Amino acid sequence: MKKRSRGKNLSSAEKASQAIDEALRENRKSRWIREEVLILGAPGSGKTTLLRQLRIIYDPYTEREREDFKPRIRSSVLHALRQLDLLLPAETPSILRILDSSPTETLVLTEEIATLIHDWWSRPDIQNISSHLSLDPSIMHFLDRILPIMAKDYLPSDADILFCHIDPSPALDQLDIPFSEETRYRPILNCVCVRQSLGSIHKWLPIFGEISHVIFVFNLNDYDDLEDTRKTFDLWEYIYSSRFMRYAHIYLIVNQPSTFASKLTTHSLNSTYPDAEPDISPAAAQAFLLRRFAEQDYSGRSSWRIPRWTVDLMDTEGVRVAMRNLMEELVQTRLVTVCGL
């Protein structure tokens, strides 16, 4: 007796049954590969930058969304101007005094004023003074681009969006990330970024008790601010010791390595941490700080390996590579958990 050829001479009921079986198979495959990831870190660590980079890489901003950023980016120009004015020496000619405007919140940015700011910022004496200041890269970015930003046909670039500090982001933001564009059945990461107060963490962390993966963002460049560093390690300690995160796999993203290395030349690690060696290399200084993460010993988890990636979160290609490696690590962790491999 001949076997019926698959897909040929099937009744409507048999075709429907096959379609249902295929849908169930796809559902079973996609069910275990959809993972929720919680993104945490102290204020200023780079959580928002990481989420924006993930949007740029995996779900690019639409033209309408870029248009929505324009008011915030133009406000960021004024914010950059105010920050620069606070850092300039008192004898330096201030653009705010030239414009007879203080504080900058009262200044309305027009094309004419943007031209005056651009001409002032381009002066050799201002450029020379600014080169000796520890300026946030966003200040230089927005002042360098003030004329294009004020153009009538301006559409924010990816860099403009990444540098934008004026951000009315929700307390909780989410983004789905596909693992690979080449594979049909791929893990989907549902990234949840929390911007709630660290003071109320005991209230909101239990909500995420069933999440099995946490990305913790640490900004190396905060090493000379003991208050910010204390917040980072207090948050890490709380998460690492929390019974709600007991079975969560934690991944560490170490942000701003290049800025950190540059900053060490003018502000040694030893001046903030006396137990650090003087004149320490950037690699050794980074290892010194990261040991504080590995030294935690809570709930018997000190033996766990904490995967980490050091990357400048403003570097889109670097973030792309780090996330690819992180997702491969996550998939391997999932296989071990589910299949016992």
Among candidate residues 156, 157, 162, the one with its CA nearest the CA of residue 315: 162
Residue 277 near residue 284 (C-beta atoms within 8 A): yes
Among candidate residues 143, 125, 146, 123, the one with its CA nearest the CA of residue 135: 143
3-class SS letters over 210-258: CCCEEEEEEEHHHCCCHHHHHHHHHHHHHHHHCHHHCCCEEEEEEECHH
Among candidate residues 338, 303, 309, 337, the one with its CA nearest the CA of residue 324: 309
Distance, in Å, from the CA atom of 249 to the CA atom of 212, rounded to the nearest integer, reads 6
Spell out the residues 6+ positions from residue 335 whose beta carbon is closer than 8 angstroms to its own. 341
For the chain, give the longest Cα–Cα distance: 99
Does the annotation list 169 as a binding residue? yes
Helices (H) and strands (E) in the chain, counts: 14, 6
Give the distance from CA 265 to its chain's centroid.
Answer: 26
Distance, in Å, from the CA atom of 186 to the CA atom of 199, rounded to the nearest integer, reads 37
Per the annotation, where are the binding residues? 48, 169
Per the annotation, where are the binding residues for Mg(2+)? 48, 169
